Amino acid sequence: MARAGKELRLARIFQGDGRALIVAMDHAYIFGPIKGLEKPERIIEDAIEGGADAILTTYGVVERYYEL
């Protein structure tokens, strides 16, 4: 039963062709903002417009920008 749930979640990312573009934005901010990631909203919008199937990021970014 648990496998069925996993397969359903993965099917949302790996759609018809079985391939996916996943953008990694889960870099740690231990040393402050990372150059190029200062404005996550713009990067998320660009990734969506570019056809990304998923964005791997931190809970804080999801909490702030989930409506995009």
Strand partners, 24: 56
pLDDT tens for 8-50 read 888 889 988 889 999 998 877 777 778 878 888 999 999 999 9
> pTM for the whole thing?
0.75
Residues 21, 53 contacting (CB under 8 angstroms): yes
Angle at 6 between CA 10 and CA 67, to 5 degrees: 55
Residue 1 has pLDDT above 70, yes or no: no
The Cα-based distances of 36 to 9, 32, 43, 64 in angstroms read: 30, 12, 9, 18
